[in-house]
Amino acid sequence: MMKSFLFLMIFLVVALAGNFNKDFDITWGDGRAKILENGQLLTLSLDKTSGSGFRSKNQYLFGKIDLKIKLVPGNSAGTVTTYYLSSIGSSHDEIDFEFLGNLSGDPYILHTNVFTQGKGNREQQFYLWFDPTKDFHTYTILWNPQSIIFSVDGTPIRQFKNLEASGIPYPKNQPMWIYSSLWNADDWATRGGLVKTDWSKAPFIASYRNYNAQACVWSSSSSSSCTSNSSTGNSWLSESLDSTGQSRIKWVQSNYMIYNYCTDTKRFPQGFPPECSLN
Ligand SMILES: *[C@@H]1O[C@H](CO)[C@@H](O)[C@H](O)[C@H]1NC(C)=O
Ligand SMILES: *[C@@H]1O[C@H](CO)[C@@H](O)[C@H](O)[C@H]1NC(C)=O
């Protein structure tokens, strides 16, 4: 059924090795965000006055988005670096990576969430198996009609399946932009807000490279949006976790997951959200 639905629509599928000048706008930060090296490198900066951020020029309806990020090194406590897809409005959809900084030598937390039709509350948090401030690492959001898969250096860490058949809303009608930002959140980010940002260490800088989108560009001027190219080029549109992926996700979840809303009995005394038993 999903296939025939897709074939009905008009589309533009792109696979692009990105250029930050071409594909993104710096949206805030008054000069604190910089595109360098002819569009190959982007840096965000945060100081006491402001953070900074950027957004894709295009809106997408489904995509596989890779971004290499090198997080704020040293004492990054209180800072949050985000990388997410989001639509707009009160019933928006959103797929989030957020990197919560920490004192030198203490681990970042990778915080993830999925919003559907304005409702989130689906947090899962992880430690990473490497120091994310030493080198660039690839963070991938795969969003296709069957599932959303978050990956780190090709290792899937989280899956949110399309469970519409069980009455759980799935993002598939609202186009999303790609966003990223670096900002101060020392009221909650590090050890729940206990550790504050040390402004004597500012400016804090996060760096980005190798943006790559295999995605469907959405356009408001065409009556419809986007679909599969029936030839070989778009395997991401039907990509799902194979058995290796399944076992990688289990490895990450048993060794690096530090919070899962689906096991938080205090928060859901009446029972877990329905997707918890199905994902
Ligand atoms: C920061 O380090 C502390 C101590 O190791 C740890 O409990 C916490 O989860 C780390 N991450 C954040 C973002 O607070
Ligand atoms: C389908 O994808 C292939 C490989 O990416 C590409 O060469 C071809 O032009 C695409 N066809 C359409 C109709 O977009």
Tell me the pLDDT band of 222, cut-offs 50, 70 and 90: low
- Whether 3 is in a domain gets the answer no
Bridging pattern class, strands 204-218 and 137-143? unpaired
* Domain count along the chain: 1
**Looking up tokens 């951020």, which residue turns up?**
53
pLDDT, tens digit, for every residue of 151-173?
A: 999 999 999 999 999 999 999 99
Just list the catalytic residues. Answer: 94, 98
Both structure tokens of 248? 């990688």
> How much is the pLDDT for 221?
73
* Residue 235: partners with Cβ closer than 8 Å, 6 or more residues away: none
Q: Is the predicted pLDDT of residue 233 greater than 80, yes or no?
A: no
Of residues 41 and 6, more confidence is placed in 41
- Whether 275 is in a domain gets the answer no
Which of 97, 106, 126, 187 gets mutated to test ligand 1 (max ligand atoms within 8 A of its CB)?
106
Minimal CA–CA distance to 159: which of 172, 174, 144?
A: 144
The CATH number for 125's domain is: 2.60.120.200
Supply the range of the domain harboring residue 167: 20-226+234-263
pLDDT, tens digit, for every residue of 93-112?
A: 999 999 999 999 999 999 99
- Whether 114 is in a domain gets the answer yes
Q: Roughly how many angstroms between the first and final C-alpha of the chain, as a whole number?
A: 21
Of residues 186 and 11, more confidence is placed in 186
Tell me the pLDDT band of 13, cut-offs 50, 70 and 90: low
- Whether 272 is in a domain gets the answer no
- Whether 256 is in a domain gets the answer yes
Measured from the alpha carbon of residue 77, the closest ligand is: 1
- Whether 113 is in a domain gets the answer yes
Write down the pTM of the prediction: 0.89
pLDDT, tens digit, for every residue of 106-154?
A: 999 999 999 999 999 999 999 999 999 999 999 999 999 999 999 999 9
- Whether 279 is in a domain gets the answer no
Q: Is the predicted pLDDT of residue 5 greater than 50, yes or no?
A: no
Residue 170: how many other CB atoms lie within 10 Å: 20
Q: Is 229 in the pocket of ligand 2 (CB under 6 A)?
A: yes
Residue 223: how many other CB atoms lie within 10 Å: 8
- Whether 37 is in a domain gets the answer yes
